[in-house]
A and B are shown apart, each in its own frame.
Chain A
Amino acid sequence: AAGVIQSPRHLIKEKRETATLKCYPIPRHDTVYWYQQGPGQDPQFLISFYEKMQSDKGSIPDRFSAQQFSDYHSELNMSSLELGDSALYFCASSLAAESNEQFFGPGTRLTVL
C-alpha cells in the first residue's frame, strides 16, 4: 500500500539559509501534519492542514511557514535556519472523514551547520 512520501530524506544547510521540505500524503488523504523531532525527544506538532487550509498550529516558529497544495501535497518552508533547527521532520497524513489516525512518512533529517 502507498505510504507517505517525504523529500528529501536528508538535507544539510548552513546557518541563515532556507530549506523546503516536501510531503506527499497517502492517496485520498486530505489532512497533513508536520512534526519536529529532536534527538532523543518525542515528535512535537508544528502545523496541520485540512483541504488546503491551515487547521491547527502548534509550536511552529515564525521563521517557518507551510502550505498544502491542490494535489494535497504539502511543503514546509524554513528560513533563517538556526543550529537548533537540526532535527528529524516528519509529515503524517490522515483521512478526516474516517478517523484521526495519522500515518507517518519516513522523515527528513535536516542538519544545520
Chain B
Amino acid sequence: TQLLEQSPQFLSIQEGENLTVYCNSSSVFSSLQWYRQEPGEGPVLLVTVVTGGEVKKLKRLTFQFGDARKDSSLHITAAQTGDTGLYLCAGFFYNNNDMRFGAGTRLTVKP
C-alpha cells in the first residue's frame, strides 16, 4: 500500500481546460514536494510546501498544502500540451528520513 495516495491516476483533457491533482496521506507530512517527470528522465522539482495552509503559485500551476499537512493539491489553469507528463508528489514524514513518492498522475493534454 502507498503511504501517499495520488488521484486521479490518469487524466486526459483538452488544451485550455483546468485540472486538479490530489495527494493524500493518513500521516502528517513534515514537508511535501511536487515533481514532474518526462519518460526516461529524472523527476524535476516543481515546488516544496512546508507550512499548513500554504499556497504557492508557479505560473499556471497552483500548489496548496492542507491545514493539517496531510494533503496537497496541484491545480493547473488553462492546460497546454507541454504540461503533459507524470506528476509525482513526494513527502517526508516525521520520524522518517526518507522521502516517499505517490504513484503519480499521468496527465495527457490533447491539442
Contact = CB atoms under 8 A, between A and B. Distances in A.
Interface of A: 4, 33, 41-45, 48, 55-56, 58, 88, 90, 92, 99-107, 109
B88 A42 contact: yes
A100 to B, nearest CB: 6
State the 10 A-B residue pairs at the shortest beta-carbon distance, nearest first. A104-B42, A42-B101, A56-B97, A45-B98, A104-B43, A56-B98, A106-B42, A107-B42, A42-B103, A43-B101
B45 A101 contact: yes
Interface residues of B, number: 22
Nearest to A59: B98
A28 to B, nearest CB: 17
Interface of B: 2, 31, 33, 35, 40-45, 48, 88, 90, 92, 97-104
B41 A45 contact: no
A23 B2 CA distance: 27
Nearest to B35: A104
Contacts of B41: 106-107
B40 A88 contact: yes
A55 B92 CA distance: 15
A101 B98 contact: no
